[in-house]
Structure 1
Amino acid sequence: MKKNFTLLLLLTLSYSFSQIPTGYYDTATGSGYTLKTQLYNIITNHNDQGYDAFDAFTATNDLDLYYENDNSTILDIYSENPTGIDPYNYTPVIDECGNYNGEGVCYNKEHVIPQSIFNQNAPMRGDAHHLLPTDGRVNGFRSNHPFGYVGANLVSQSGITNPTRNGSKLGNNINTGLFSGYSNTVFEPIDEFKGDIARIYFYFITRYETQVTNWNYDMFNGTSDQVLTDTFLYTLLNWHFNDPVSQKEIDRNNAIYTYQNNRNPFIDHPEYVCQIYNSQCATLNTPDFASVENITVYPNPTINEFYISTTTTLKSIIIYNVNGQIIQKIEQPNTISNETYQVSNLSSGFYLVEIASDNGKIIKKIIVN
């Protein structure tokens, strides 16, 4: 898949909105695994609040201010429907598990990196950066399976549909191209939250780089530098590129800094990912869908509206502001004339335009005066 990696540099604009303490990343001056170790030194020795304290954190900081915007229910990445009505909602504390016998009964604490990997030890067990409130049944359904792209052979379990009620699914890894090398069961969240998962993993393997070689997990390769096997490194890199940092992630990162006094560098500085994994990013930069390479976005700068000219049939156009929020999402857009699409009603600002066909995606930048 072709990615325009200037996107990562453009996304650095988002950190001006992120309340990063002055000087926090001053010592992050290297590249490659040197940079990764420098980041480890910055974010290590956080103030571990313990596993049980996370309940109170969730009740205040994991509310849905971004989709339903009701400020009273849990934002659960395994049940959230970003474009419609959620299949169910949870009230903080009141709906916490408890026992469950199916999806939609209650929520509990999901360790994005399974706690069995590190034997439930502190500080990993209570690290809020990789703890999320999720549906109890879906949490159990995901179990300790790796994250990946599900290809076929969906796994059937009683008490739950597959895909789940928001479209997350469990099945065999696609095991093809850059994502080959693993054919067993993986869990795939919906596209809206894939980047969230990727950046949590990049945080975790950086924060615990001095311990990770002691942990046996299908996603890990036994090293303290790359840490992830090629299969899962390319998977998470792809998720990181295609799902930019959101306002939800920024807000949560700020809250966690107050809570346990360390930050996720890959939310503050998305470009750090490719500065560490430069060769892998270069490999991902090899085009395999030239059809969306022949594309023009004009005029740029513009006023209020712009046009997209391409011989490719587009399936979506998504406009992001510099803070990673979706401003417009146009599904199955119609051309206004031969091979030309129009996007209008934009206020002044700097935007990222994600243009997708059936063959892939590309990111363009646009300035509206």
Structure 2
Amino acid sequence: MKHFYFVAFLISICCNPLIAQVTINELDADTPSTDDQEFIELLTTPETSLDGYVLVLFNGSSSGGDSSYFAFDLDGLVADVNGIVLIGSNNVVPVPDFILFDNTIQNGADAIAIYQGDEQDFPEGTLATTANLVDALVYDTNDSDDTNLLNLLGETAQINEGGNGASSSNSIQLNSTGGYDVTTPTPGQLNDGSGVVFNFIGASASQTAYNEGEEIIINFTTTTAVTNTTEFTFTLDNAGFNSADFTGETSVTIAAGASTGQTTITLIDDQDDEGDEELKITFGEMPEGFKRANDNVIIRIIDNDFTTASYGTPLAPTYDQVESTQPDGYYDSIDTLADDALVQALQDIIADPSIVRAQTYSDIIDILKEADQSPLNSNQVWLVYTEQQRPKLDFQTSGGSNEGLWNREHTYPRSRGGFNDIEYDQVADGIDIFTTTKADSLRHANSDAHALRAADGPENSSRSNQDYGEYSGPTGNQGSFYGDVARSIFFLTIRYNGLDVVSGNPANTTVGALGDLDILLDWHRNDPPDDYEMNRNNVIYNWQFNRNPFIDMPDLVEYIWGTNVGEQWTNPLGVEDNKLSDMTIYPNPSSGAITITAPQETGKVFLFDTLGREVYKDNFQSGSPIIHNLPSGVYIVKVMTSATATTRKLIVR
């Protein structure tokens, strides 16, 4: 189709005053590294609204089928004094009129097109068409011509932005003859250098994070020196951060002949544990002749009033400090049962549709911030697999697996479980709004907090949908999550019909079966539930009204998958009854041997180090010494008898 440049625009408008002609003026589809500077520039009559137009991006690959992959209305966008509307990534200078996520625009062979219409006219997968087409550009980065896409859009030429790295420093620009030049990008200005040349202003600080009580010097810089003394205003408000959190001027004056100015903001140390926050430097209305070089600059404010928990991290676990919040009689119905009857009774408890609640996948973010809160810092979450903490604020909100961000990890991969989210899942509606759920509600496994953990984004991608054993965490990890993920898998297979855990490694395309059961059993036995996991169980119970029974009563695992299959389960004694058992371990501290006394006379004893690794196990006879010869340190003693299962801390000197 014919391309009009600026003069032709005026002629078109005179002839058809009811609608403004819009053309694609410049495209930068491939920018350095992370594609965070790509843009589309449109040209129309100066200061004209683009209401009634839609911009559509088409995928020319074999999988894309010359169909739409992204569309958005141009309603509300108004061209500047040069007739330009800029659409692009946040790092484009000047700031685009419409912000795209990084890496939105594909490299080619692809196309962008302007239509009269609405984005609803182009749902994903809509074949390219000339119906209501205003302008189109078919392009590539050293790719073969997509003749079908050219024909569908009525175009005769596919424009090459460059290849082998050249495209990252080029853009495709419409010239005055209606053809295209491939040259240095000129976002926000006319391609021939004419028109009003704007002065860009940007804001910056020397750090990306500050502590409460510190000062922030915000520097403002223009591209060229200002001709007259000029004042710029800005705001810092962002979510919970507001004027109560700082003092200082929210305006800056740049003197005539200068190109810089600054202001000092003092952060108030309010001594409240309100969590880390982020201020946002946002420009007010721009004076005539200026545009924003950047905007919405985020600076992290570290709350120094964070709290720590009384219990340890999974790397330094503690035991018996956090009590279960299960109601009295919660597990009464499983007592004396075995085999299928035991499994069914457990499912009747944890999938009871009259009690159990399903939350949305977006609610999971808030649940994990509470359930996976780091014991070392209330403003951070503890990450599974990588065994580290990370600020709660650093949650990943876009696609991919960005370094330094955390996201939601399904311990039972979604592709292996056959459950996915729906539109409703994208709404975080809080603890008091929920959905009824039952054992057959497999889709709700997508947002079951017992099955989700805070995880490092890239590590989550590395885990992918592998069986455990195939995946055992990153190199050098200490395995502090082994028992946790095992009990999560065990819970899911009882909670939902259609999920199973099996021995070995079924194909990664297998739906409804995850391995490896034998490895998960070992992980469960060698990494018993600690206080961190019990607290997590309590938090999730508060949201979902169900608990993971294998955290509350870890020995249950043996009666369903392990060494006690076929035997009747006996519920452990209550807290008060357990106190009456008079089980003792002495001496404590110990130096090579301990003695256990218990009314049951015999049982089994297990010793674990602080990393959850089993270092000793044997049968015991009440009153007879147990020679362990362990090195000095702190250990956890687990004593199992026919009536009780008890854990105690042991100090070895």
Equivalent residues of 2:339, 2:565 under 8 A apart: no
2: CA distance between counterparts of 1:124 and 1:259? 15
Equivalent residues of 1:305, 1:344 under 8 A apart: no
- Counterpart residue number, 1:212: 499
**What letter corresponds to residue 262 of structure 1 in structure 2?**
N
**What letter corresponds to residue 110 of structure 1 in structure 2?**
E
Is residue 246 of structure 1 aligned with residue 533 of structure 2? no
Equivalent residues of 1:98, 1:106 under 8 A apart: no
Alignment of 1:1-369 (within 5 A): 17-29=323-335, 30-44=337-351, 45=353, 46-65=356-375, 69-80=376-387, 86=388, 89-99=389-399, 104-116=403-415, 117-120=417-420, 122-148=443-469, 164=474, 167=476, 190-208=478-496, 210-212=497-499, 218=506, 232-279=516-563, 301-307=586-592, 318-319=608-609, 340-341=629-630, 343=632, 351-352=637-638
* Deviation digits for residues 7-50 of structure 1 (CA, Å, limit 9, x no counterpart): xxxxxx95992122111101012122321111001000320011
Equivalent residues of 1:100, 1:106 under 8 A apart: no
1:140 positional shift: 1.1
**What letter corresponds to residue 558 of structure 2 in structure 1?**
C
Equivalent residues of 2:407, 2:456 under 8 A apart: yes
Greater RCO (CA < 8 Å, at least 6 residues apart): 1
* Deviation digits for residues 124-163 of structure 1 (CA, Å, limit 9, x no counterpart): 1110000111111111111111111569xxxxxxxxxxx7
1: CA distance between counterparts of 2:448 and 2:630? 45
Please list every run of 5 or more consecutive structure 1 residues that lacks an aligned counterpart in the other structure.
1-12, 81-85, 152-162, 169-189, 283-298, 310-316, 330-338, 354-363
1: CA distance between counterparts of 2:405 and 2:513? 32
1: CA distance between counterparts of 2:320 and 2:341? 24
Structure with more of its chain in helix, by fraction: 1
2: CA distance between counterparts of 1:23 and 1:40? 16
Equivalent residues of 1:32, 1:278 under 8 A apart: no
1:341 positional shift: 4.5
Pick which of 245-254 and 110-119 moved more. 110-119
Please list every run of 5 or more consecutive structure 2 residues that lacks an aligned counterpart in the other structure.
1-318, 422-442, 567-583, 595-606, 616-627, 640-646
**What letter corresponds to residue 96 of structure 1 in structure 2?**
Q
1: CA distance between counterparts of 2:390 and 2:649? 39
2: CA distance between counterparts of 1:132 and 1:233? 20
SS of alignment partner, residue 18 of structure 1:
coil
**What letter corresponds to residue 453 of structure 2 in structure 1?**
L
SS of alignment partner, residue 40 of structure 1:
helix
**What letter corresponds to residue 17 of structure 1 in structure 2?**
E
1:62 positional shift: 1.5
Percent of counterpart pairs with the same letter? 26
SS of alignment partner, residue 123 of structure 1:
helix
* Deviation digits for residues 238-293 of structure 1 (CA, Å, limit 9, x no counterpart): 110000101111001011111011000100010111112245879xxxxxxxxxxx
**What letter corresponds to residue 20 of structure 1 in structure 2?**
Q
Residues 37, 14 of structure 1: alpha-carbon distance in 2 compared, 3 angstrom cutoff: farther
1:197 positional shift: 0.7
Alignment coverage as a number of residue pairs: 254
2: CA distance between counterparts of 1:94 and 1:150? 25
1: CA distance between counterparts of 2:527 and 2:634? 23
2: CA distance between counterparts of 1:51 and 1:305? 48
Residues 101, 119 of structure 1: alpha-carbon distance in 2 compared, 3 angstrom cutoff: closer
Residues 75, 344 of structure 1: alpha-carbon distance in 2 compared, 3 angstrom cutoff: closer
Residues 15, 34 of structure 1: alpha-carbon distance in 2 compared, 3 angstrom cutoff: farther
Equivalent residues of 1:237, 1:281 under 8 A apart: no
SS of alignment partner, residue 520 of structure 2:
helix
**What letter corresponds to residue 21 of structure 1 in structure 2?**
P
1: CA distance between counterparts of 2:321 and 2:630? 31
Task: State the structure with more CA Rg.
Answer: 2
Equivalent residues of 2:322, 2:531 under 8 A apart: no
Equivalent residues of 2:537, 2:548 under 8 A apart: yes
2: CA distance between counterparts of 1:367 and 1:74? 29
Equivalent residues of 1:149, 1:235 under 8 A apart: no
Residues 343, 95 of structure 1: alpha-carbon distance in 2 compared, 3 angstrom cutoff: same
Equivalent residues of 1:307, 1:341 under 8 A apart: yes
